[in-house]
Structure 1
Amino acid sequence: MLRRRATKGLTKFHCNFPIEISSFPSQKNQLYLLHPCRAIRLLTCSSRAPVLRSFANCGGFSFLFAPSHVTRLPPASGSLYRLGHRRRRMGGVFGALFGGGHRRPGGRAPPAARHRGLVQQPSAAAYDGGRRRAVISKKYSYIPDTFTSLDQVAAALRQQGLESSNLILGIDFTKSNEWTGKQSFGGQSLHRLGDTPNPYEQAISIIGKTLAPFDEDNLIPCFGFGDATTHDYNVFSFHHDNSPCHGFEEVLACYRKIVPHLRLSGPTSFAPIVEAAVDIVDRSGGQYHVLVIVADGQVTRSVDTGDSDLSPQEKRTVDSIVMASSYPLSIILVGVGDGPWEDMQKFDDKLPARDFDNFQFVNFTSIMARSTTAQQKESAFALAALMEVPIQYKATVELGILGRSTGNAKRVTPAPPPLPPAQRQPSLRRGSSNVNAGSARPAEPRDDQVCPICLTNAKDLAFGCGHMCCRECGESLTRCPICRQPIRSKLRLYSG
């Protein structure tokens, strides 16, 4: 915005940033033009040739001259300002700035104008844009929980202009789900299907009740990760054609159809589901999305990884979350099961600088364990999940990433959902083989013989509590990873 201020009989026009002039022109019709480049030029126009001098630490265009009548040049002229009279002289000034126009006697342009013209300097928009983005990123590097009711969150969403968004759902199918329900789900697998809903079914139902009203079209892309077909490098879609689910009723129906036919595996990494969500956002033209990940615990971490170090799965997860902050995407991690959730909080603290704070953790188990009514629990969950969304959406607007498609997102092709045995491919049926004769593969350990920590080696170390793991993972353990009891004795097992 252009502002005007009188200074010692002169008129100073400047925009965006104040400019300090160390000396004033002694003659009328002189013009000081400051350009925000690495080497700012101070131009003085007299009746003869313009003279260029260095002038630093200026953030915007500024014009200081005696006459007070100013008009804007058309966009083709660079959107500069010029005097209302003596336009030929001022035109010569601007011509000298951009490589032509006013000449010295003898026909040669001044060396400064010829070799150091402002037209060769970086643009003011690029300079100010980069600095503005850095300021905004610092402003939204940490988003505190400031709301105390769901009504306040809804009002803040409306105030920011976010009436609806788009939901993406990711479900954790890693093997740790078999033992992280010892306290919260009676020692059963968190994915166990029965007469009563399991924690994942509860979470999906409550997410549908509380967050679905904020979904624009009720079409929810749903993915699973961490099973024996995807491990830590891909996701599978809930539909064979990779189509979204129509409402959370269909999400639950697909979940119940898929669970009996999959094998829990690992290791745990959130990178595949985050990358799949970023791909959806980029393909949508930069529409605002909310990714909800329902998982039973932290990212896989090896026992020999130092406290200040990251495991390969943690590093890839961190990199994906940082990358996602360049897109209009909020990530909500909903924790089900026993935890431990302290490790998840430490992981959140390890996230480096991002364009904005795009990650929120919600302890679903803790909220559902409160001594309140079901409606109060659902409201508390919705509040915790949506707490940071209004500010996150505002950050995407101010950063200029909303409604923008970069075309640089990794293209993700989800695998099909696990099939029941009757629908498997013929090559997987008995009597067929996809390996060459004479190159038989060694038998892999059965699921009940695989180490529950690395999910690779066979169990060959038993604890006093009766649980087992492989010797490599169990050497430095002090507590059983399954029952959490202190390990008082270890017994090495040998197979004949």
Structure 2
Amino acid sequence: MSKEPSSSLSNTARATGSDTGSQAKGGSKLEKKQSIKQKYGFIPDNFSSLEQVTTALREAGLESSNLIVGIDFTKSNEWTGKVSFNNRSLHAIGDTPNPYEKAISIIGKTMAPFDEDNLIPCFGFGDGRFSPWKLNSNNVDSSFAPYDSSVELIFLFIYTATTHDQEVFSFHSDHSPCNGFEEVLACYKKIVPNSRLSGPTSYGPVIEAAIDIVEKSKGQYHVLLIIADGQVTRSVDTDDGEMSPQEEQTIKAIVDASSYPLSIILVGVGDGPWEDMKRFDDKIPAREFDNFQFVNFTAIMSKNATISEKETAFALAALMEIPFQYKAAVELGIIGIPNALTTLFCIPSICFYVLSHFFKWPLEKRRSMGQAKKIVPRPPPVPYSRRPVLDREPTHVSSPVLDERTQACPICLTKGKDLAFGCGHMTCRDCGSRVSNCPICRRPITSRIRLFA
């Protein structure tokens, strides 16, 4: 009788000990993961030469990397070169390379030794297009007198935004990657004349496109190079403690990307400002590792130094954190996905977890696989054709309509028009106060008139 309680206590002790051991093992894994996250939660800039960076990449085991390029085609490119690019559009194609061409070339020369296949997926975002818009003859009034009355269908090529802050377009219509940075530059130069700059600005779509590529590659390590002229769109109506929809979208995409072997480098070209991007670089919470690096291209290239020294300084700043980010991805166990497990819907859930346990994948990685948003890029802009110019505009034209006839600001495309220029065109007060030329007719702004509802 007296032994029963002892036996019971012994069994209880063994069970408790077993549970404690199990919890300790689980706790140990959690502690290890937290330790890794803390170790790579903020990565300082530790190198002083480009040779040190490339050596560190080799020592970290990075024998090859895959590059992805994203280019900003938002409207602010038209005026953010006022100081840094002689008041020209940052996308101006001419005898001298523009900031986008320079940044692409420098990174290309630096990263080429690490890109074995030399295939580079390229995307644009923030653009708009001229798209065909149909008018039936019964909706056409005397404004269309120059046309034959027997014509039943008229096509007008009217600007309609496409990617905005929601999508990306590929540099090739078949979504194939560019073969080397020479082709990246060649495609870029072909696309620019056919592009209509638009907005708002969000880096979310291009980051999501990069995540999709990483997942399709079976977890190979990638570097996403985003070249942009401005910060993520933030309306003046957004309170200090709040975020705009574009900021929320961008931050979510950066956090999601930290579950994948993907480093993000944002290269800022033009006059800025860049205060918010510095905040993005260092203060985004809840990431598996610090996967985002901001580099001020303009500040580096305006230094009093030789061209070679400035190019080296830029490449160093852009690639400074890559060795640590790669090591973080290795230690977190998010690099490499066995071929048999790449398509989740082909594997029953229980089999997937058994196989993933066999391959010793972290639970978080098992959950993240197959969860990437499937991205289908739009085709690149192409040359458009237009009918002869009409003597008068139609009076019964409805949406979609030209920029200057919409109620939204033609710059940010989010706020209403409440500021008029001397030329008669309008924008919102926030955007209108920052431009020196009308975004519609390009005339110098001589006067601004505030409008009240």
The answer to whether residue 211 in structure 2 is matched with residue 254 in structure 1 is no
RMSD: 3.2
CA–CA distance in structure 2, aligned partners of residues 330 and 137 of structure 1: 15
Normalised by the size of structure 1, how large is the TM-score?
A: 0.68
CA drift of 1:310 comes to: 0.8
Query: Going by fraction, where is helix more abundant, 1 or 2?
Result: 2
1:321-380: CA deviation from partner (whole Å, max 9, x where unpaired): 011001110000001000012232133344113110000011111111112111111111
Residue equivalent to 2:28: 128
Give 5+ residue unaligned stretches, structure 2.
Answer: 1-5, 129-161, 343-368, 389-395, 438-444
Cα distance change on mapping 1:489 and 1:193 into 2, 3 Å: closer
Unmatched segments (≥5 aa) in structure 1: 1-45, 55-111, 423-428, 432-438
Q: Relative to 1, partners in 2 of residues 1:452 and 1:366: Cα closer, same or farther, differing over 3 Å?
A: farther
Q: Is the 1:232–1:268 contact (alpha carbons within 8 Å) kept by the matching residues of 2?
A: yes
**Does the 8 Å contact 1:445/1:458 carry over to 2?**
no
Tell me how far 1:127 sits from its aligned partner: 3.7
Aligned with 2:413 (options 455, 476, 481): 455
Aligned residue for 1:332, secondary structure, equals strand
Q: Which residue of 1 aligns with 2:375?
A: 412
**Structure 1 stretch displaced more, 368-377 or 138-147:** 368-377
Aligned partners of 1:140 and 1:395 also within 8 Å: yes
Paired residue for 1:87? none
Verify: 1:172 aligned to 2:72, yes or no: yes
How many Å apart are 1:196 and its aligned residue? Answer: 1.7
Is 1:330 aligned with 2:330?
no
Q: Give the structure with higher Rg (CA).
A: 1
- Distance in 1 separating the partners of 2:92 and 2:63: 36
For 1:344 and 1:458, the matched residues in 2 are separated by 26
Seen in structure 2, the aligned counterparts of structure 1 residues 141 and 488 have a Cα distance that, compared at 3 Å, is farther
1:446 alignment partner in structure 2: 403
Q: Does the CA contact (< 8 Å) of 1:325 and 1:358 recur in 2?
A: yes
Which letter does structure 1 place at the counterpart of 2:264?
Answer: I
Alignment CA distance shift 1:178-1:133 (3 Å): same
Q: 1:124 to 1:443 in 2, by over 3 A?
A: closer
What's the counterpart of residue 142 of structure 2? Answer: none
8 A Cα contact 1:143 1:388, kept in partner: yes
**Residue in 2 that maps onto 1:367:** 300
Counterpart amino acid of 1:147? F
Q: Deviations over 1:213-260 (max 9, x none)?
A: 222211100000011121111111000111100001100110111111
Structure-1 separation of matches of 2:284 and 2:326: 20
Matches of residues 239-278 of structure 1 in structure 2 within 5 Å?
A: 239-278=172-211
> Following superposition of structure 1 onto structure 2, how do residues 393-432 of structure 1 map, counting pairs within 5 Å?
393-404=326-337, 406-421=369-384
| Inter-partner Cα distance in structure 1 for 2:238 and 2:169 | 29
Quick check: 1:481 aligned with 2:434? yes
Name 1:491's counterpart in structure 2. Answer: 449
Listed as ranges, the matches of 1:335-350 within 5 Å are 335-350=268-283
Which amino acid in the other structure matches residue 144 of structure 1? Answer: P
Is it true that 1:292 corresponds to 2:229 in the alignment?
no
Change over 3 Å in CA distance of 1:223–1:205 after alignment to 2: same
Tell me which residue corresponds to 1:101.
Answer: none
Return the alpha-carbon distance in structure 2 between the equivalents of residues 246 and 447 of structure 1: 40
Q: Which amino acid aligns with 1:445?
A: L
Q: Is the Cα–Cα contact under 8 Å of residues 451 and 468 in structure 1 kept in the other structure?
A: no
Letter in 1 for 2:57: L
Q: What's the offset of the Cα at 1:163?
A: 2.0
Q: Which amino acid aligns with 1:421?
A: Y
TM-score (norm 2): 0.74
- Give the counterpart letter for 1:481 in structure 2: R
Aligned residues: 370
Task: Determine the C-alpha separation between the residues in 2 that align with 1:363 and 1:467.
Answer: 36
- In structure 1, what is the equivalent of residue 59 of structure 2? 159
Asked if the contact 1:233–1:272 (Cα under 8 Å) also holds between the matched residues in 2, the reply is: yes
Q: Distance in 1 between matches of 2:415 and 2:235?
A: 13
Query: Counterpart of 2:197 in 1: which secondary structure?
Result: coil
Q: Does 1:138 align with 2:25?
A: no
Cα offset, 1:456, TM superposition: 5.1
| Contact 1:460-1:468 within 8 A present in 2 as well | no
How far 1:133 sits from its partner (Å)?
0.8
Structure 1 residue 212: Cα displacement: 2.1
Once the two structures are TM-superposed, the CA of residue 403 in structure 1 deviates from its matched residue by 1.1
Instruction: Check conservation: 2:403, 2:410, Cα contact below 8 A.
Output: no
Cα deviation for residue 453 of structure 1 reads 4.1
Q: What SS class does the counterpart of residue 299 from structure 2 fall into? A: helix
Q: Check if 1:52 corresponds to 2:11.
A: yes
Deviation for aligned residue 1:490 = 4.9
Aligned counterparts of 2:100 and 2:405: Cα–Cα separation in 1: 23
How much identity, in percent, do the aligned residues show?
A: 63
> What displacement does 1:447 show?
5.8
SS at match of 2:164: coil
Q: Which has the higher contact order (CA 8 A, sep 6+)?
A: 2
Q: What does 1:74-93 correspond to in 2, within 5 Å? A: none
Question: What aligned pairs does 1:302-341 form with structure 2 within 5 A after superposition?
Answer: 302-341=235-274
For the residue of structure 1 that corresponds to 2:373, the secondary structure is coil
3-state SS of paired residue (2:210):
helix
Q: Distance in 2 between matches of 1:417 and 1:261?
A: 9
Q: Compared with structure 1, are the counterparts of its residues 150 and 411 closer, same or farther at alpha carbon in structure 2 (3 Å cutoff)?
A: same
Q: Tell me, in whole angstroms, the C-alpha distance in 2 between the residues paired with 1:162 and 1:489.
A: 56
Offset, 1:448? 9.5
